[in-house]
A = this chain, B = another copy of it.
């Protein structure tokens, strides 16, 4: 499963997770998807927690949170570095570094067009992470 093919599976048809909701998150290892239940539904294994933590760590920075919100909420759903630097008192290489961290975590897709790289929020990854953290146990 590629980074952009993260999905939510509410069918409960899978074999590795228990009740109701399966959460598939992007993995930094190609071909390997993370599978776990929301925090309030069942305990995470060590392996699952070690796969989720890097996604949260990537988001747990004020600049990267703002970058994610700027890209994810942008009309058309994508942005290049040139669209983003104006919102920060930071150099373009610094912004590019933070975007790279988000991309490597699987939270931003990117595509090179001409001289610019365009970034797009991985909506399924964000949705999955949201369910993992916030889905009620009921």
Q: How far is the CB of A16 from chain B (nearest CB, A)?
A: 15
Chain A interface main SS type: helix
Asked if B68 and A39 sit within 8 Å, CB to CB, the answer is yes
Closest to A47 in B: B62
Interface size on A, as a range, is 35 or more
Asked if A40 and B137 sit within 8 Å, CB to CB, the answer is no
Task: Give the docked Cα–Cα distance between A93 and B127 (Å).
Answer: 35
**Chain B residues whose C-beta falls within 8 Å of the C-beta of A115 in the assembled complex:** none
- Cβ-defined partner of A40 (8 Å) among B49, B52, B123, B136: B123
For the complex, is A59 an interface residue (Cβ under 8 Å from B)?
Answer: yes
**Chain B residues whose C-beta falls within 8 Å of the C-beta of A57 in the assembled complex:** 56-57, 60
For the complex, is A14 an interface residue (Cβ under 8 Å from B)?
Answer: no
- Give residues 24-81 of A contacting B (CB, 8 Å): 39-46, 49-50, 52-54, 56-57, 59-63, 65-66, 68-70, 72-73
- Cβ-defined partner of A69 (8 Å) among B39, B50, B126, B128: B39
For the complex, is A7 an interface residue (Cβ under 8 Å from B)?
Answer: no
For the complex, is A99 an interface residue (Cβ under 8 Å from B)?
Answer: no
Q: A59-B56, A62-B46 are in contact. Are A39 and B134 (CB under 8 A)?
A: no
Q: Would you list the 9 A-B pairs with minimal beta carbon distance, nearest first?
A: A130-B134, A56-B60, A49-B62, A57-B60, A40-B72, A49-B65, A130-B130, A130-B133, A39-B69
